[in-house]
Amino acid sequence: MTITIVYGSESGATKSVATRIAKKMGGRTLDIREATARDFEESSFLILGAPTYGAGDLPSDWEDNFDALKSANIEGKTVALFGLGDQETYPDSFLDAMGLLYDQVIAQGATVIGFTETDGFTYTSSMAEQDGQFVGLAIDEDTQSDQTSKRITAWVERLA
Ligand SMILES: Cc1cc2nc3c(=O)[nH]c(=O)nc-3n(C[C@H](O)[C@H](O)[C@H](O)COP(=O)(O)O)c2cc1C
């Protein structure tokens, strides 16, 4: 199985989480700035990660190269998502970018696995929440960095 972890990261936190996931799962990391449609198509298991910026937006690197994902044929592919955000400063748009990625890959016919519990987080609204769960791994390096290792480990174990 080829695992590709495609991430966008402005200040490095998402890149670091991508690297930690790759180490545990044996996949390769790929900056969204370098990704082509073929990278999405050739991987048998895709993991996509993004921090949220603006008021609930994808980071600019993801926005600028969103077409690479959109133009890829990922119908039937299994995808897992992770998102980074700050629940204290941005409680109304916590992890929204992960929700945007979810909507996109679902629209393209992919299957998303790796939902997680919202327990332990305090926020008001999140586009990454669906039926009381997050649509992927939720990480807050700004206010809960002490939880990150535990959260990554539990998520990777459940994906395996
Ligand atoms: C200008 C700005 C806007 C942000 N907006 C949001 C937001 O709407 N929702 C959220 O959950 N986090 C938001 N964040 C927090 C970042 O997503 C968080 O710090 C993340 O860890 C950054 O990841 P990176 O280092 O990979 O770029 C924002 C941060 C900044 C600096």
Number of C-beta neighbours around residue 89 at 10 A: 10
Helix then strand count (H, E) for the chain reads 6, 9
For 80-86, what is the mean pLDDT? 98
pLDDT at 146: 98
Atom of ligand 1 nearest to the CA of 55: 8
Q: Of all residues in the chain, what percent carry a pLDDT higher than 70? A: 100
| Domains of the chain, first to last | 3-159 (3.40.50.360)
Q: Whose CA is nearest to atom 18 of ligand 1?
A: 85
Calculate the alpha carbon distances from 121 to 44, 50, 84, 124 in Å.
31, 18, 12, 10
pLDDT at site 1: 83
Ligand 1 atom with the shortest distance to the CA of 126: 11
Q: State mean pLDDT over 98-102.
A: 98
- Over residues 119-128, the mean pLDDT reads 98
Q: Is the pLDDT of residue 160 over 90?
A: no
Average pLDDT over residues 85-89: 98
Measured in angstroms, how far is the CA atom of residue 85 from the centroid of ligand 1? Answer: 5
Q: Which residues line ligand 1 (CB under 6 A)?
A: 9-14, 51-56, 84-86, 90, 93-96, 141-142
- Expressed in angstroms and rounded, the spacing between residue 129 Cα and the centre of ligand 1 is 17
Q: In this structure, what token pair is assigned to residue 35?
A: 């990704």
What does pLDDT average to over the chain? 97
pLDDT at 54 over 90: yes
